[in-house]
Copies of this chain bind each other. A is one copy, B any other.
């Protein structure tokens, strides 16, 4: 005769997420999560292998939510405007879920198949914008699209994580700094997208400097 289930995996993950958001990734115990869904800590182990797996599930939820918000933020028309709108949505997401954002980039997290694909998928809604910006109609130029994405995306992550950790200490408006950064990068990318030779020359130059 099986014991009737008092809760569900979904409820457990939701409870854990709430605790993460309130007190951070280290701010809850298995006992806390269990109590939040009306069971005892050892019972969690019939559903999750260990604490890290619960955290990994919470992390995946955050990545999926970010993906939805980036997709929703995408506007029609000029690709640079669409990317700027998505950049603002990205920052807004991080500021709305500071603890969750920290979890998403925690190096100690588990490396699951599902987590890797959730993370990769989250930024997918921005790729058409980059393709339109730098490759024009040439949708097959995947390498150029990827290079462009890898300028703005790191800026976004770096800016918001520095902002969340309080690293901007020298004054000045951060909204303005963010807008300035996004505009500068998009202008730089648009320029390299419209002049292939300019871009080739610049890349060769960079390599010369590096080696």
Residues in chain A within 8 A of chain B (CB atoms): 24, 26, 81, 84-85, 88, 98, 102, 105-108, 111, 116, 119-120, 143, 146-147, 150-151, 153-159, 161-162, 164-172, 175-177, 179-185, 187-189, 191-192, 202-203, 205-207, 209-210
Residues of B within 8 A of A185 (CB): 151, 155, 184-185, 188
Q: Which residues of B contact A161 (CB under 8 A)?
A: 105, 157-158, 161
Task: A164 to B106: give the CA distance in the assembly, Å.
Answer: 10
Copies in the complex: 2
Q: Give the residue name and chain of the B residue nearest to A182 (CB).
A: B206
Q: How far is the CA of A140 from the CA of B201 in the complex (A)?
A: 34
Q: Is the interface of A mostly helix, strand, loop or mixed?
A: helix
Closest residue of chain B to A27 (Cβ to Cβ) is B108
- Contact residues in B for A169 (Cβ distance below 8 Å): 116, 119-120
- In the assembly, what is the distance between CA of A153 and CA of B177, in Å? 12
Q: How far does the Cβ of A172 sit from chain B's closest Cβ, in whole Å?
A: 5
Residues of B within 8 A of A203 (CB): 176, 179-180, 183
Query: Which residues of the other chain, B, contact A108 by a CB distance below 8 angstroms?
Result: 24, 26
Asked whether B184 lies within 8 Å of A192 as measured between CB atoms, the reply is: yes
